[in-house]
Amino acid sequence: MSSSATLPASMYDIQQAIIEEFNVLADDREATLQYLIELGEQLPPFPEEEKVPKNQIKGCMSTVWLSCQVQGDVLYFQADSNTTITKGLISLLIRVLSGQSRSDILHADLFFIDRIGMQQFIGSQRMSGLASMIQTIKELAIAPASAHTQGSDESALLREQILDAIKQVHDPEIPVNIYELGLIYEVNIYPLNNVHVLMTLTSPNCPAADIIPSDVKSKISMIEGVNEVDVEITFDPPYSTDRMSEAAKLELGFL
């Protein structure tokens, strides 16, 4: 257990209150999970327009959205999830960390998780997701603005380098790069220069289905300053030749 000297009084007191609440449940797994669900239901409504890929937390089994508002040196979080227990978990993190300073969030010892024996109630996979939530919140405390804007000169330059790298990737059977083909749906740059690419393939049965995403990841990873690269394949919406650039259509005889 951490001493109160190592944490802001409010953060320490909030965690102690959470521990006391869960202790009342006397290690009753069913009651604990029900309480987690109730806590999630108490979260303020999350704006539908904020449920976008850039606000999704990677590494969770469920879909978790997290937005951050900055006032001076203090961060305020809002969150939601598509599953009830995960929503309860993120509600606990927000309860402890929202309204705290960047420094306090970065150095927070979230001792309440071990003290209430969270893993025995939610299992290892959800614990892994919880760790991803904590990591994302701490990344936002390092550079909260960069998760929501790419307007800075540095971010714009990195984005241009990423797109240039993607343009080096080709389907082996098509003489046009995948960017001009319209296979790239989204490129998101997160805190610590973690990159997420949402892309598709010309068809689910594409012979290069394993090669192309791997090549995209490899090319982007070679850019100086890039940290982690996540390439996600989707077929929603399905690919259409309408997504091709004019140059690609001309090259392939569609014009």
Residue 98, Cβ density class (10 Å: 0-12 exposed, 13-18 middle, ≥19 buried): middle
Would you call the peptide bond into 204 cis, given omega within 30 degrees of 0 as the criterion?
no
Q: Which of 125, 41, 29, 118 is nearest to 84 (CA)?
A: 41
DSSP structure class, residue 7: S
Asked if residues 182 and 189 have their Cβ atoms less than 8 Å apart, the reply is no
Choose the catalytic residue: 11, 36, 60, 220: 60
68 has catalytic annotation: no
How far apart, in whole angstroms, are the C-alpha atoms of residue 149 and residue 82?
25
How far apart, in whole angstroms, are the C-alpha atoms of residue 13 and residue 9?
6
How far apart, in whole angstroms, are the C-alpha atoms of residue 203 and residue 238?
8
Catalytic residues: 60
